[in-house]
Chains A and B, each alone.
Chain A
Amino acid sequence: MTIDPVLSVEGLGFAYGARTVLSDIDLTVDPGELVAILGPSGSGKSTLLRLIAGLERPAGGRIAIGGTTVADARSSLPAERRGLGLVFQEDALFPHLTILDNVAFGLKGLPRSERRARALDALDRLGLADRADDWPHRLSGGEQQRVAVARALAPRPALVLMDEPFSRLDSALRQQIREDVVAVLRDTGVGVVLVTHDAEEAMSSADRLVLMADGRMLQTGTPEACYHRPVSVEAGRLLGPLNVVPVEAEKEGVVTPFGRLTLDGSTTGIGDLAFRPETLMRSSDGVEARVVSRTFAGAVTRYLLSVGSVRLEMKSFGADPELVEGQTVRVALRTETAPTILSRDQP
């Protein structure tokens, strides 16, 4: 017997007036799974979250939670009856309530003592039980976000929706708080949809990524698959810099500046070879490349190279003293991760 997904979205569409915001979105989240939706601002990812939450009504398609349809083109269950947890980017704690009362807000129909106990329990999991009687404005940004998570988890929902929950935090704190919160979510076994524009955050937290742009889904898959095997230049660039080299595929292999490569897939014709900057390395039997510029960035150094008429980015640990501007070196592709061929025929 298969377990029902906690969330299933089929063919979902949404429009503000004449402007189409989302079209043809399909998405499932299994119990305990953390799915990150990554896209630039304006890609419709927050709207998708609001549709799932019941704060907007879809124009078409279907949303089911725990196997029950909650919204389609004709009808929509209001947010308060969907029983989902919701965490926002900022300013969503109720300023007139103490931390404890904020967390207990969603616990209705329970005796007082039970409400208090459950709210305290949720706060304790986020390490904030000692701040229960404090007020939201006295907490740091990171503490406020942890309270917001505790508040969303207190009613024990099967699915938690998070909209850029860490983006307002200082970068120093951000990673730590994100790891703490993700650990608590995993421990709870709740399904999570995390909306973010931060590729690192998405890849490091999620079991599965959904890449979006312009209201469409570009790609879905594990973080590694999406990173190394993008389905398009657009999708690939969402996760970081991507080298794209026009190539010609023949029966015997693909003709590239690095020589003839044999790759999966039997496409022939003109395409693009796509690979990450860190898969490029110095190699004595590689092709000649001239160093155009070099940027030191701490642990890694980025180089801009020109190979014939093609510009390539290379990223390596440490700073190579021989790779200075104007120098000519030989570079090749690492063999551990095969590059991807993106056919020009596909959109």
Chain B
Amino acid sequence: MIETAVLPARRGLRLPSTLSGIAGVAVIVVLAPLLGVALAAARGPWAGLSVGTLTDYATTSAVLAVGVGVLASLLGVGSAWLVAQYRFPGRGAFSWLLVLPLAAPTFALAYGYADLLDVAGPLRTWLRQDFDIEVPGTMRSLPGSVMVLSLAFYPYVYLAVRDALLNRSSSAHEAARALGASPARVFWRVTLPMARPALAAGLALTLMETLADYGAVSFLSVQTLTTGVVRVWSVNGSPASAALLGLPLIGTAAALLILERWSRSHRAYGVHAGGWRPVPGRTLTGWRAVLATSACSLLLVVAFILPLGWLGWNGLQSTPEWPRLAAAAGRVAALGVAGALVATALALALALAGRGRPLLTRLAGLGYATPGAVMAIGLLVPAGLLWRAMPGPGWMFGIGLVLLIYAYASRLMAAALEPIASALTRARPSMSDAARALGRTPLGTAWSVHVPLASGGLLTAALIVFIDVVKELPATLILRPFNFDTLAVLADAYARDERIGQAAWPALMIVVVAMPACLWLTRRISRARPGGSPQGDD
């Protein structure tokens, strides 16, 4: 009797096989499209591509990445330094308002600025007519893209550096002061070096997003590897060429991921065993206070209020097509919920099975770092097989949706993994051991102990995925079933027809949905870190 109950002894295998199985599926979900890209690229023929275009695209991507990296770092570190280091009027509000650009899809900023700063736009017309000043240049250029993406992505740097500066242990600073260093010297020799890993992490995220961006860059008529992927696929109908363009992007993604991991492992030197005491900010008075407040206000206006406000003004001049908007909103909501459920479930399995197995989570991270357009191209190969084997056209729609949700899940799983994994740190190994001893199977333990403990993290994860799905454009463009418009796709279509007023509506609807969620997530996530809340210490 006991023979049937006894499991075969396999030493070292401590994980429940069911969970490991699901986690394995999760990793395959991430890796399959990447493999698809490699296979498609190898197969050829590479229509519409020459060595020249490939080099051009790659150069543009590189210049864009460097430009955005520098400008976003300046904006992010500067604002983080002000908010973390000083006290000035409005500082409390700015500390969370400055993340707002994360709620806006990049193309919304691009539409706003392209119109506002157009040669025939209101600003330049006014300067020309009233002051006879002719400003050179156009937004639809590489510098224009650098500006838009820097404004859109500086919050990644801001958030990472701000938290590093707020959470640094005051003892190192007190020691430096006691050793005779002036406040300025402490900042340059102690504070900034200690925030360097945070800067690297924020920068890595910024670069990943920059290289992956499609909506803004393509609207601003700049040809990068990512816009090339979509263009070669849609114009030349060549998945092989698109995949070939995707390969350097995957390679860069992997490199950025390694940078991000590296900086994270070094971030540990911000964390000391002793109690967290926030370094008291210096209170600014007089013109310094005015300057600090103005700088933060200016950034907020330039990165969020001005472009979106102008876009909104444009929207009000046009008559929205409500039925199309409502249908698109309904679709993207459904996609968002489905994507969130699938990605969160897979991420949970990965979080449970991946504890003590960093390789699993790193592989999932590769999916996050890979641009959505490339991920979608990788799915076209299996999709082609499915479409060919399909019994009727009715299936086309369903398969398209499944692929779309698959693409979201594989790309966003890593984003969902993080809050779940951090929530699961509450679950001590002794709790699972106790549950096992009290008669729960490994899967039962996960269900009755880990899932309830991680519930907050699961909610956060689902929300992050939902927001990203709502903002997503390139993968949706490539994989969506025919005529299946989401808000982002609709905005993109209007903008292509130069109907900026019409494009404003779906773009701003995305902002309205994403903004509260974005603020809530920022507060929640920074509070979850050790010493995360600026006041909540001791």
Residue A108, interface by CB 8 Å: yes
| A42, B433: Cα distance in complex, Å | 20
Contact residues in A for B426 (Cβ distance below 8 Å)? 95
Flag if B6 contacts A77 (CB, 8 Å): yes
Contact residues in B for A250 (Cβ distance below 8 Å)? none
Residue B453, interface by CB 8 Å: yes
Flag if A155 contacts B439 (CB, 8 Å): yes
| A57, B441: Cα distance in complex, Å | 16
The residues in A between 65 and 97 inclusive whose CB is less than 8 angstroms from any CB of B are 68-70, 73-86, 88-97
Flag if A151 contacts B438 (CB, 8 Å): yes
- Contact string, B437-450, partner A, CB cutoff 8 A, digits 1/0? 11111101000110
- Contact string, B420-434, partner A, CB cutoff 8 A, digits 1/0? 000000101011011
Residue A191, interface by CB 8 Å: no
Residue B7, interface by CB 8 Å: yes
Flag if B428 contacts A96 (CB, 8 Å): no
Residue B5, interface by CB 8 Å: yes
Contact residues in B for A70 (Cβ distance below 8 Å)? 2, 6
| A281, B302: Cα distance in complex, Å | 88
Flag if B436 contacts A55 (CB, 8 Å): yes
How far apart are B438's CB and chain A's nearest CB, in angstroms? 3
Residue A105, interface by CB 8 Å: yes
Flag if A77 contacts B5 (CB, 8 Å): yes
The residues in B between 117 and 165 inclusive whose CB is less than 8 angstroms from any CB of A are none
| A264, B441: Cα distance in complex, Å | 54
Residue B9, interface by CB 8 Å: yes
| A73, B9: Cα distance in complex, Å | 7
Residue A53, interface by CB 8 Å: yes
Contact residues in B for A57 (Cβ distance below 8 Å)? 9-11
Flag if A151 contacts B434 (CB, 8 Å): yes
Contact partner, B438, options A55, A76, A106, Cβ 8 Å: A106
Residue B452, interface by CB 8 Å: yes
Main secondary structure of the interface of A (DSSP, over half): loop
Flag if A77 contacts B428 (CB, 8 Å): no
Residue A255, interface by CB 8 Å: no
Residue B435, interface by CB 8 Å: yes
How far apart are A94's CB and chain B's nearest CB, in angstroms? 6
Q: How large is the interface on B (under 10, 10 to 19, 20 to 34, 35 or more residues)?
A: 20 to 34
How far apart are A301's CB and chain B's nearest CB, in angstroms? 37
Flag if B2 contacts A77 (CB, 8 Å): yes
Contact residues in A for B455 (Cβ distance below 8 Å)? 96
| A95, B438: Cα distance in complex, Å | 16
Contact residues in B for A319 (Cβ distance below 8 Å)? none
Flag if B433 contacts A55 (CB, 8 Å): yes
Residue B286, interface by CB 8 Å: no
Residue A332, interface by CB 8 Å: no
| A82, B5: Cα distance in complex, Å | 11
How far apart are B19's CB and chain A's nearest CB, in angstroms? 14
Number of A positions contacting B (CB below 8 A): 41
Flag if A79 contacts B9 (CB, 8 Å): no
Flag if B431 contacts A86 (CB, 8 Å): no
How far apart are A66's CB and chain B's nearest CB, in angstroms? 11
Contact residues in A for B449 (Cβ distance below 8 Å)? 94
Flag if B434 contacts A80 (CB, 8 Å): no
Closest to B10 in A: A57
The residues in A between 92 and 114 inclusive whose CB is less than 8 angstroms from any CB of B are 92-97, 105-106, 108
Closest to A96 in B: B452
Contact partner, A106, options B428, B431, B439, Cβ 8 Å: B439
How far apart are B405's CB and chain A's nearest CB, in angstroms? 30
Residue B8, interface by CB 8 Å: yes
How far apart are B152's CB and chain A's nearest CB, in angstroms? 39
Contact residues in A for B5 (Cβ distance below 8 Å)? 77, 81
Given contacts A57-B11, A73-B9, A91-B431, contact A78 B436 (CB under 8 A): yes
Contact residues in B for A94 (Cβ distance below 8 Å)? 431, 434-435, 449, 452-453
| A296, B7: Cα distance in complex, Å | 58
Flag if B434 contacts A59 (CB, 8 Å): no
Contact partner, A92, options B6, B7, B9, B428, Cβ 8 Å: B428
Contact partner, B433, options A68, A73, A83, A92, Cβ 8 Å: A92
Given contacts A94-B449, A155-B439, contact A86 B6 (CB under 8 A): no
Residue A54, interface by CB 8 Å: yes
Flag if A80 contacts B440 (CB, 8 Å): yes
Flag if A80 contacts B7 (CB, 8 Å): no
Contact partner, A91, options B6, B430, B438, B439, Cβ 8 Å: B430
Closest to A82 in B: B437
Given contacts A82-B437, A86-B437, A105-B435, contact A76 B6 (CB under 8 A): yes
- Contact string, A124-158, partner B, CB cutoff 8 A, digits 1/0? 00000000000000000000000010011001000
Contact residues in B for A53 (Cβ distance below 8 Å)? 433, 436-437
How far apart are B422's CB and chain A's nearest CB, in angstroms? 15
Contact partner, A80, options B8, B430, B437, Cβ 8 Å: B437
Flag if A75 contacts B441 (CB, 8 Å): no
| A90, B428: Cα distance in complex, Å | 9
How far apart are B355's CB and chain A's nearest CB, in angstroms? 15
Flag if A88 contacts B441 (CB, 8 Å): no
Flag if A79 contacts B431 (CB, 8 Å): no
| A78, B455: Cα distance in complex, Å | 27
Flag if B7 contacts A77 (CB, 8 Å): yes
Contact partner, A95, options B8, B437, B448, B453, Cβ 8 Å: B453
Closest to A160 in B: B437
| A108, B7: Cα distance in complex, Å | 22
Flag if B438 contacts A75 (CB, 8 Å): no
Flag if B2 contacts A54 (CB, 8 Å): no
Contact residues in A for B434 (Cβ distance below 8 Å)? 86, 88, 92, 94, 148, 151
How far apart are B169's CB and chain A's nearest CB, in angstroms? 25
Closest to A106 in B: B438
| A85, B534: Cα distance in complex, Å | 43
Flag if A75 contacts B437 (CB, 8 Å): no
| A254, B3: Cα distance in complex, Å | 57
- Contact string, B1-38, partner A, CB cutoff 8 A, digits 1/0? 01101111111000000000000000000000000000
How far apart are A62's CB and chain B's nearest CB, in angstroms? 12
Closest to B433 in A: A55
How far apart are B1's CB and chain A's nearest CB, in angstroms? 9
Contact residues in A for B444 (Cβ distance below 8 Å)? 80
| A83, B439: Cα distance in complex, Å | 7
The residues in A between 198 and 224 inclusive whose CB is less than 8 angstroms from any CB of B are none
Contact residues in A for B452 (Cβ distance below 8 Å)? 94, 96-97
Contact residues in A for B437 (Cβ distance below 8 Å)? 53-55, 79-80, 82, 84-86, 106, 152, 161
Closest to B11 in A: A57
| A121, B314: Cα distance in complex, Å | 71
How far apart are B74's CB and chain A's nearest CB, in angstroms? 44
How far apart are B122's CB and chain A's nearest CB, in angstroms? 57
| A148, B434: Cα distance in complex, Å | 9
How far apart are B451's CB and chain A's nearest CB, in angstroms? 10
Q: List 14 A-B contacts (CB under 8 A).
A: A50-B433, A55-B433, A57-B10, A75-B6, A81-B439, A82-B437, A88-B430, A90-B430, A91-B430, A92-B433, A92-B434, A94-B449, A94-B453, A96-B453
Residues in chain B within 8 A of chain A (CB atoms): 2-3, 5-11, 426, 428, 430-431, 433-442, 444, 448-449, 452-453, 455
Closest 8 CB pairs of A and B: A106-B438, A86-B437, A75-B6, A79-B436, A92-B430, A88-B430, A96-B452, A91-B428
